[in-house]
Amino acid sequence: MTNRLWVLGSAGWMPAAGCETSCLLVELDDELVMLDAGTGVANLALASEALERHDHLSIVLSHYHLDHVVGLMYLKRFVANMRVDVYGPGIPVYPRSTADYVSDLLQDALYSAGSEGFAREVRYHDYAGRDFYVGNVKVAVRPQRHSAPSFELRLADAVTYATDTTFSPAVWGAPAPTKVLLHECWQVGDGDPRHTSIEALVAGLPTDRFERTLLVHQNPEWDETARTEVARIAERHGMELARDGMVLPL
């Protein structure tokens, strides 16, 4: 089996410029893992062959903002016959559990299948800000600075996913290398202190620690001029803008 990564959603906040919100699918060492479940879940048909190879999907949430979880209500179309395990930061990082937050989102008044009806079996887990395992795949967890508790997620030596975070050069002084880094890029110049700019990435991100660096959680307010400028800067410094539909070998 070839290890692969599908970019299903590369935008932040809301879909824009042909991109859905945060969602990645990773097939790694016989495990199928989804990182965040934004509107990009609607693109799961792009990975239909992977879904056919598995009867179990693990979903790991970096945090609970809507652009990272709203796609949970789209899952029934794709995983109705699968077992799904949902991992979120939960207690004690948050005052309530992952199951509680998802139950609020998928309550009967808003979604008829409810929080346990979109798959053959659904189980919820709090990873509580600590490393854990999905099958044989280690998920390393690192806290980030954001408006709500948010976590960088690293799957073994294959994928690092860092979104919804203030960029801190000190944190990236000597990161564990992985084949692919997916890091948010929200703004050009100073702006929202809860997010990361392309200038901060250029100044402090050691891209040589990764075989490929893709920029995700892109700002839907960028016009084509801004997007082209960010892409140009990124390319000059060994990075590239992620696009929905990308498939990368791992």
- Looking at the structure, give the CATH architecture of the domain made up of residues 4-249: 4-Layer Sandwich (3.60)
What the block records as the tokens of 237 is 């410094």
**217 conformational bin, left if phi > 0, alpha if psi -120 to 50, beta if neither:** left
Report phi then psi at 27, rounded to 5: -105, 115
How is the chain split into domains, by residue range?
A: 4-249
Report phi then psi at 212, rounded to 5: -150, 135
Query: Which parts of the chain are beta strand (E)?
Result: 4-9, 23-28, 31-35, 56-60, 83-88, 121-126, 132-134, 137-144, 150-155, 159-162, 178-184, 210-216, 240-241, 247-249
40/174 Cα distance (integer angstroms): 31
The tens-digit pLDDT sequence of the chain (250 residues) is 689 999 999 999 999 999 999 999 999 999 999 999 999 999 999 999 999 999 999 999 999 999 999 999 999 999 999 999 999 999 999 999 999 999 999 999 999 999 999 999 999 999 999 999 999 999 999 999 899 999 999 999 999 999 999 998 888 888 889 999 999 999 998 778 899 999 999 999 999 999 999 999 999 999 999 999 999 999 999 999 999 999 999 9
3-state secondary structure 42-98: HHHHHHHHHHHHCCEEEEECCCCCHHHHHHHHHCHHHHCCCEEEEEECHHHHCCCCH
DSSP single-letter state for residue 41: G
